Amino acid sequence: MSDLAVLQEKLGYEFKDITLLERALTHSTVAEKDYQKLEFLGDALLDFVVADYLLLTYPEESEDFATRKRASVVSRYPLADFFEENRLIDYFRYKNISAKQMSLKLKSDVVEAIIGGIYRDGGLIAARKFIEEKICSRLQFTSGEEVKDYKSRLYEYGAKNKAEITFEHREEGEDHNKTFYSFVLVNGVELGGGFGKKKVIADQIAAKVALERLKCIK
């Protein structure tokens, strides 16, 4: 099984035209036909599909709620997380850039290029399926309901299993309208991400995702 065959299994999509996937994984330092045009297409598709998905999933919520949710899903952080979790660095062709120097933007751009490639290869239905199953499902949110104290439960897990629990944060927006993206690392491995208007909410959601991945809760 070739490397790209393994990657396609991870992506959940098999390309009819494998050159589209190869192009999505090619930096301009290697060839003129690089990922950038596919990234441009994928960025637009991601924004559209996520917006439509949120309106269908949360029909009773406000436009502001959908806007904040969309901003978190299309943010470079969860996209870069997908890049790292699926070891896309092993398939990405580049020169004169060390793996450690790859920016969050470049990692997220590559994922968007793959989305663009899937669209070119299989159409909107295939691209939508990938986005909903691989991207939208990565983050969990609340619509204002009470959030359980998953963070304390995660720290309890860390104490019991001698695991190091670390929360890291990113902020977006103006001072009067900030949004927060939190992600939690367990022994240096990122296991969960969350988004909220308050850091404490984002932390709790990230902790819940981590607990689910650790099989501590269902």
Give catalytic residue positions.
Answer: 43, 112
Whole-number Å distance between alpha carbons of 38 and 86: 19
Residue carrying the six token digits 């036909």:
33
* Cα–chain center distance at 114: 13
Q: Which of 78, 49, 74 lies closest to 194, judged by CA? A: 78
Whole-number Å distance between alpha carbons of 114 and 83: 11
- The structure tokens listed for 148 are 């359980």
Q: Which of 7, 42, 47, 51 lies closest to 121, judged by CA? A: 42
- The structure tokens listed for 217 are 């809760």
Beta bridge partners of 183: 168, 193
- The structure tokens listed for 197 are 């208007």
